Structure 1
Amino acid sequence: MSRIFDLAQIGIVPSCAVVPREVLLAHGAGWRIGLVVMSTVADMTLDGWLPGRIHDVSGPY
């Protein structure tokens, strides 16, 4: 199930770069786009790691 969410997340990443560029001024959009993409990648990483960690700590889901 998490793979399905990851595929959807991967489809969202390019739009995360386009929307701030259209809405914000060009000189301030660079670091904001980087922050949004970095947050998205960190979320995809936690999506795979966190359920395993919860399982290790608490036993069955």
Structure 2
Amino acid sequence: MDIDVLVARINELARKQKSEGLNEEEMAERAKLREIYLGNIRRNFRSQLDTIEFVDK
């Protein structure tokens, strides 16, 4: 899933929760989308850490 679409949907659900609340299905969708988003963040961060090279011992 494209990160921009993912963030847009998460934000849409957040706005809806503040205005009128979410039903159970939307809450489950929000939780799933957040986990996907956090997984992407963790994967990207791990990739950055794996490319670090130590120069001095």
Given the two structures, how large is their TM-score scaled by the length of structure 2?
0.48
Larger relative helix fraction: 1
Larger-Rg structure: 2
